[in-house]
Structure 1
Amino acid sequence: MKVKQSMIDKELRATGTFIKLINNTFTENRFKFFNKLTRKFKHKMIDSAIDTEIKWIVRPDGTKLRLCIFKPLVPKADVPGILWLHGGGYGLGVPEQSTAMFKSLIEASDCVVVAPDYRLSVEAPYPAALEDSYLALLWMKEHIETLGIRENQLMVGGESAGGGLTAALTLYARDRGDVAIAFQMPLYPMIDDRMDTVSAVNNNAPVWNSKSNYNSWSLYLGDLFKTNNVPYYAAPARALDYTYLPPTVTFVGELEPFRDETIAYVKKLKEAGCKVDFKIYEGCYHGFDIVCPKAKVSREAKEFLMQAFKYAVDHYFANQPTQKGNINDQSQSTK
């Protein structure tokens, strides 16, 4: 899908042009470069209006996973718990880059956000990121009382690759049966390694194009890339069964590579009986709400997300399984 300048929302054009000039396409070396840059300045991304705490938990192999915990300066009890997975094409980024999102979620609900610094594809390909995400989810469930969160209101969200991990994690959690997720927020998710939809082919939009998408999936999947053996935990668009997944909110830009795979994902969720709030924003490229937060369309997208989130806080709950393997018996309740 060829994207012309005239197709882009007027408030997004200048920023899109600038981004294409400084980094038109992500390559493996650029993933590594920008990853070093974000890690170097991660502390400057933190907002003093919310409390930030760092925890380290041990992986099965003995290495440690860093968790960033964000909560109100004056913590409340009995609040939603959100696992948030940052974006970055599976190959770059840190939890702190989503601090603006954490602040909005906390202001809306006094929630506690747990954000894992999951292993990136430039360090370890799939399934490393998913394993870290699931380990963090289990840790959050096991520390409900300490964190002050509701046992029946564990939520998961993320943007881009983090949205892909969100979609993968809800499938994985459903199948494992260890933890029930009440609500998911996979924003413009990266979920289809086949890259054969109209929006994904020959897309030259700013921020994220077809070449970046190809390079990212190649790094993330490693030896699985371009094979028929890619599991749906790596690329959730490959899943055939979307039953028993939590209520969902998502949105996507009209001009980005992930448009069509997001549309298909939403359609499959609805066909499986899942409640979904979904919008497509015209004239928008990937991550428009992050790179141009003050644009009218970005503010509209944020308001749409926050309204859906607030509704979820009041209405969506999922009781934790009493024994392993019975997630399918745990229906999402509405109050």
Structure 2
Amino acid sequence: MELAKVHPELRRAVRRVPLMPVGRPWFRRLARTALDRLTPPTVVDGVRSADSTADGVAVRVYRPETGASGAGLLWIHGGGLVIGHPSQDDRFCSSTARDLGMVVVSVDYRLAPEAPFPAALDDCAAAWEWFRRSAADLGVDPARIVVGGQSAGGGIAACLTHRLRDSGGLQPRAQLLVCPMLDDRTAARTELDEVGHWVWNNGLNRFGWRSYLGAEPGAAPAPYSVAARRDDLRGLPPAWIGVGDIDLFSEEDADYARRLRAAGVACELDIVPGAPHGFTSWGYRTSVAEHFIQRSRAWLARAAAVENA
């Protein structure tokens, strides 16, 4: 894809982001080790972070030192379903905790291909149940917990709302989906390989889905494995979906937003011109990323009933 299609503010940064050879075992081992050994230097002032265990699942908990609002966010990191760690989102999770007075629980879920579906979803469901049961100790109203995630984490978050909807009981207050990875059928579209999307291309996408599903993308998936494959979207919590218009996931994200609205689910879709995948992570210093994050936080504050945010 031509650099001219990238937003001017993001061009310099995106040229520094290498395509990750996630199909190579040595790279996945290296990436996982590096992220796992990171200390949290990007946790903002005014927030305490601590690693804990939620029913056998590792989580990182971010708590505001002042101004607690009683709301919570269960956050699921990205990484194409094959890499990633809560540490990569320290900045986002801690600043959300500080700015909105929310307790944020970030899940360190198991990764494919070593742990294919449903391992990641099971881990996030366990973290949800722990968060709900621990809400009083954390100073959170269990009815005001939002589920959210970025990229692969956004897709898992959407699938988690499906599973919780069907199982009954307390539901998430809302779902915050940032450039979510929602549809394995995108990976099956080999004509997209030629586009050469920045940061995350369709070849990498195909490896991620194949690793997670244990089958070629586009085949009939198991229930709750692929968010966009669910037929009935009625009764799901309100959603915010944000994505760049040159992101590989732009089309599938916009289609999912359309289907949510058609099913009677309130959904706000925020499409950013010229934004490649994950631009809020590697381009966070730009105004286009800052404004995008501000819009997502404003919606999150309204959804979680955070006053004076």
Corresponding residue number in structure 2 for 1:328: none
SS in 2 for 1:225: coil
Is 2:60 the counterpart of 1:89? Answer: no
**C-alpha contact 2:121 2:160 (8 A) present in aligned 1:** yes
Counterpart of 1:31 in structure 2: which amino acid? R
The Cα of 1:114 is off from its aligned counterpart by 1.1
Moved more, 203-212 or 240-249: 203-212
How many Å separate the matches in 2 of 1:50 and 1:70?
A: 6
2:277 to 283, 286, 306: 286
Q: TM-score, normalised by structure 1?
A: 0.85
3-state SS in 1 of match to 2:271: strand
* Cα drift, residue 57 of structure 1: 3.4
Is 2:204 aligned against 1:207? no
TM-score between both structures, scaled by the size of structure 2: 0.92
Cα distance 1:261–1:278, how it changes in 2: closer, same or farther (>3 A)? Answer: same
Q: Which moved more, 1:84-93 or 1:99-108?
A: 99-108
Deviations 1:250-300 (A, max 9, x none): 110111110110011000000011111111111110001111112121122
Work out the CA distance in 2 between the residues paired with 1:67 and 1:204. 34
2:19 aligned with 1:27: no
Would you say the 8 A contact 1:52–1:70 is kept in 2?
yes
Whole-Å separation in 1 of the counterparts to 2:15 and 2:199: 9
Distance of 2:118 and 2:173 partners within structure 1: 24
Q: For residues 204 and 28 of structure 2, what CA distance do their matches in structure 1 show?
A: 10
Q: Which of 268, 272, 282 is matched with 1:277 structurally? A: 268
Map of 2:5 onto structure 1? 7
Contact 2:43 2:94 in 1 (8 A): no
The aligned length equals 305
Choose the corresponding residue for 1:118, options 109, 114, 117.
109
Query: 1:277 & 1:244 partners in 2: Cα distance?
Result: 16
- Partner SS state of residue 152, structure 1: helix
The structural deviation recorded for 1:49 is 3.3
CA contact (8 A) 1:16 1:207 kept: yes
Number of the residue aligned with 1:330: none
Matched, 1:217 2:209: yes
Match of residue 54 from structure 1: 51
For residues 142-178 of structure 1, the C-alpha deviation after alignment (integer angstroms, 9 at most, x for no partner) is 1121111012211101100110111100001101113
Q: Assess if the C-alpha contact under 8 Å between 1:164 and 1:235 holds in 2.
A: yes
Matched residue, 1:324: none
Distance between the aligned counterparts of 1:260 and 1:89, measured in 2? 17
Aligned partner of residue 71 in structure 2, secondary structure: strand
Secondary structure of residue in 1 paired with 2:66: coil
Q: How does 1:1-335 map to 2 (within 5 A)?
A: 3-20=1-18, 23=19, 25-29=21-25, 30-58=27-55, 64-74=56-66, 76=68, 79-195=70-186, 196=188, 200-222=192-214, 224-226=215-217, 228-314=219-305
Q: CA deviation at 1:108?
A: 3.0
CA–CA distance in 2 between the matches of 1:144 and 1:218?
A: 36
8 A Cα contact 1:203 1:256, kept in partner? no
Classify the secondary structure of the residue corresponding to 2:185: coil
Hey, what does 1:326 align to over in structure 2? none
Letter in 1 for 2:13: T
The superposition leaves residues 118-159 of structure 1 with CA deviations (integer Å, 9 ceiling, x where unpaired) of 101143011000000000001111112111101221110110
CA RMSD of aligned residues (A): 2.1
Whole-Å Cα distance in 2 between the matches of residues 226 and 93 of structure 1?
Answer: 21
Q: CA offset at residue 179 of structure 1?
A: 2.7
How far residue 201 of structure 1 moved from its aligned partner, in angstroms, is 4.7
Deviation readout 1:88-124 (Å, 9 max, x if unpaired): 1111111121112112322332111111211011430
Q: Secondary structure at the match of 1:300?
A: helix
Structure 1, unmatched stretches of 5+, are 59-63, 316-335
How far apart are residue 41 of structure 1 and its match? Answer: 1.8
User: CA 1:24–1:91 in structure 2 vs 1: closer, same or farther (change >3 Å)?
Assistant: closer
What is the aligned-residue identity percentage?
28
Match of 1:320 in 2: none
Question: Is contact 1:5-1:13 (8 Å) kept?
Answer: yes
Task: Provide the secondary structure at the position in 2 that maps to 1:56.
Answer: strand
Summarize deviations over 1:222-270 as a string: whole Å, max 9, x none: 2x33463312411111010100111111110111110110011000000
Contact in 2 for aligned 1:25/1:208 (Cα 8 Å): no
Deviates more, 1:131-140 or 1:28-37: 28-37
Deviates more, 1:36-45 or 1:178-187: 36-45
